[in-house]
């Protein structure tokens, strides 16, 4: 099929590349000329596993092209996907101005019987609005507007596209739905579930899915706080909960709070949509509030550890909002680091991919190319991103480099016993803090026994 992608940002580009990989003829259009020039020169504007290779393969095969010429991109296409940004507006609502603008700009050049599909995350009713915008320009034209939300995770977007849990097609017309079904045929043939519904439902599915996932994270983080108070172990509790098929094991990893370009923005937009339609969403409002407080709590725990340090220095390992991305948007690090700096803490940092993006937003941080250099003279090292390379940190070397051996594993990726064996004081999320003096108490054994006693004492 001949597909046009409006917007070569994260969603547009990865989706366009994957559709080309599936055999479609795709042209990606963007108003950013520099971006298009870079893409035409073969370089991707962000890091995403496997994207660069897949992109060059499909360009070479003649199935994928990039242009800043919108009329050329739009004419004679069976499907036009709109994948432009929907940033957060002043009152938390999604700012749809780029979507409206894209609709206005494609309208004059659309061929008859085109299916316009909204890939951008948009509020309920946007497909209908886009239909009206195009109809205003091209009243006599026969066309459809549909909704086809994406559920791609940064870092595994290509895998997620090619192996989706489901495909959601929102269309108010049979022919339009069939056109999208045709587009996804290679995936649907592999028994990927299809949710066919109206455009409004499809639009809501995207927001509700992200809100629910944020809720799961918020919940497990609150349970982690409780575990800290009772000296329990959140890892055991999360596993015990997640094995219940009704709950499921994913999105139960506690940490410094969710970030990224989607959850913070989409949860706020979901709440704003609820308000606009007189159906408030207090659960998600609470999740948003808890997530903001979470970062402060992590920063406060770090400050508590630095009380006796004269010129306190902290090493931050990982500023990306999660592993396998160079994206720092809404990353917990962007809140935790300035909070520490305001209290007079010197921050040294390392991130394997995201240092360049981090440095733009955190200019007062000292950046290093190596975690061990970053650890030099530090009173505490905090792991904020779950990069695989931190799982195999040379703790002996870290211990030698640091002034004080305190390690705060905010992603629970290190084995507590191994950490204390190297002479560290060990802090993590949802588990007891282990002192550095190499004593024998085991993180997983002694504490639950004590809890058991406490519980039975209360009962009797």
> Which residue numbers belong to the known binding site?
30, 35, 86, 121, 151-154, 206, 251-255, 259, 265, 322, 329
Distant-in-sequence, close-in-space partners of 278: CB < 8 Å, separation ≥ 6: none
Q: Is there binding between residue 152 and ligand UDX (CB under 6 A)?
A: yes
248 token code pair? 């499921």
**Residues pairing with 382 in the sheet:** 316, 408
Catalytic hit among 18, 28, 262, 410: 262
Which DSSP letter does residue 107 get?
G
**Residues pairing with 428 in the sheet:** 409
Q: Is there binding between residue 184 and ligand UDX (CB under 6 A)?
A: no
Q: Between residues 125 and 164, which has the closer beta carbon with respect to ligand UDX?
A: 164
Considering only residues 318 to 337 of the shown chain, the ones binding ligand UDX according to CB under 6 A are 321-322
The minimum distance between CB 325 and ligand UDX, in angstroms, equals 7
Establish whether 262 is a catalytic residue: yes
Contacts 24+ apart (CB under 8 A), 283-288: 283/215, 284/211, 284/214, 284/215, 286/218, 287/211, 287/214, 287/215, 287/218, 288/214, 288/264
CB 197 within 8 Å of CB 169: yes
Q: Taking every pair of C-alpha atoms in the chain, what is the biggest distance, in angstroms?
A: 80
Compute the distance between CA of residue 447 and CA of residue 237 in angstroms, rounded to an integer. Answer: 13
List the one residue from 21, 93, 150, 409 that touches ligand UDX (CB under 6 A).
Answer: 150
Q: Is there binding between residue 406 and ligand UDX (CB under 6 A)?
A: no
Considering only residues 202 to 231 of the shown chain, the ones binding ligand UDX according to CB under 6 A are 210, 213, 217
The minimum distance between CB 4 and ligand UDX, in angstroms, equals 21
Q: Is there binding between residue 253 and ligand UDX (CB under 6 A)?
A: yes
Binding residues for substrate, as ranges, are 151-154, 206, 251-255, 259, 322
Q: Between residues 77 and 411, which has the closer beta carbon with respect to ligand UDX?
A: 411
> Rg (Cα) of the chain, in Å, rounded?
25
CB 3 within 8 Å of CB 78: yes
Q: Is there binding between residue 430 and ligand UDX (CB under 6 A)?
A: no
377 token code pair? 């003279």
Task: Express the helix, strand and coil content of the chain in percent, nearest 5 each.
Answer: 45, 15, 40
List the one residue from 113, 153, 296, 442 that touches ligand UDX (CB under 6 A).
Answer: 153
Q: To 5 degrees, how large is the angle CA 68–CA 72–CA 78?
A: 115
Q: Is there binding between residue 262 and ligand UDX (CB under 6 A)?
A: yes
Which single residue brings its beta carbon nearest to ligand UDX? 262
Q: Is there binding between residue 258 and ligand UDX (CB under 6 A)?
A: yes
Q: Is there binding between residue 255 and ligand UDX (CB under 6 A)?
A: yes
List the one residue from 66, 144, 207, 263 that touches ligand UDX (CB under 6 A).
Answer: 263
Active site members: 262
Binding residues for ligand UDX, rule: CB under 6 A, are: 150-154, 210, 213, 217, 251-253, 255, 258-260, 262-263, 321-322
């Amino acid at each position: 099929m001949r597909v046009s992608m409006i917007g070569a940002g994260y969603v547009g580009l990865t989706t366009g590349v994957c559709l080309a990989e599936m055999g479609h003829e795709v042209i990606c259009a963007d108003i950013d000329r520099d971006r298009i020039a870079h893409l035409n020169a073969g370089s991707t504007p962000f890091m995403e596993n496997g994207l660069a290779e897949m992109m060059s393969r499909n360009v070479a095969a003649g199935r994928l092209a990039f242009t800043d010429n919108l009329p050329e991109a739009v004419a004679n296409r069976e499907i036009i996907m709109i994948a432009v940004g929907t940033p957060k507006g002043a009152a938390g609502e999604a700012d749809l101005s780029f979507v409206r603008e894209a609709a206005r700009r494609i309208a004059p050049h659309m061929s008859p019987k085109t299916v316009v599909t909204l890939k951008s995350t948009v509020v309920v009713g946007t497909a209908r609005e886009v239909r009206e915008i195009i109809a205003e320009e091209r009243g006599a034209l026969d066309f459809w507007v549909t909704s086809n939300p994406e559920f791609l995770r940064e870092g595994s977007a290509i895998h997620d596209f090619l192996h989706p849990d489901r495909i959601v097609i929102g269309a108010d017309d049979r022919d339009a739905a069939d056109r999208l079904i045709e587009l996804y045929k290679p995936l649907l043939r592999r028994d990927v579930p299809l949710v066919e519904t109206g455009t409004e439902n499809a639009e809501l599915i995207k927001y509700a899915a992200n809100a629910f996932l944020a809720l799961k994270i918020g919940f497990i983080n609150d349970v982690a706080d409780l575990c800290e108070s009772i000296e329990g172990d959140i890892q055991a509790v999360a596993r015990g909960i997640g094995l219940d098929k009704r709950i499921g094991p994913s999105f139960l990893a506690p940490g410094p709070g969710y970030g990224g370009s989607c959850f913070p923005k989409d949860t706020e937009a979901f709440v704003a949509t609820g308000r606009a339609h007189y159906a408030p969403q207090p659960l998600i409002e609470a999740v948003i509030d808890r997530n903001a407080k979470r970062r402060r709590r992590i920063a406060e725990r770090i400050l508590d550890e630095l009380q006796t340090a004269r010129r306190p220095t902290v090493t931050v390992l990982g500023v990306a909002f999660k592993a396998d991305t160079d994206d720092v948007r809404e990353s917990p690090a962007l809140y935790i680091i300035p909070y520490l700096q305001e209290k007079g803490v010197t921050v040294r940092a390392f991130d394997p991919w995201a240092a360049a993006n981090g440095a733009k937003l955190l200019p007062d941080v000292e950046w290093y190319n190596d975690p061990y250099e970053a650890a030099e003279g530090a009173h505490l090292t905090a792991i904020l991103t779950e990069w695989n390379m931190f799982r195999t940190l040379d703790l002996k070397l870290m211990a030698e480099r640091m002034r004080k051996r305190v390690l705060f594993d905010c992603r629970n990726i290190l084995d507590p016993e191994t950490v204390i064996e190297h002479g560290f004081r060990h802090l993590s999320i949802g588990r007891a803090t282990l002192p550095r003096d190499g004593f024998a108490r085991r993180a997983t054994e002694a504490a639950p026994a004590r809890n058991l006693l406490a519980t039975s004492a209360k009962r009797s």
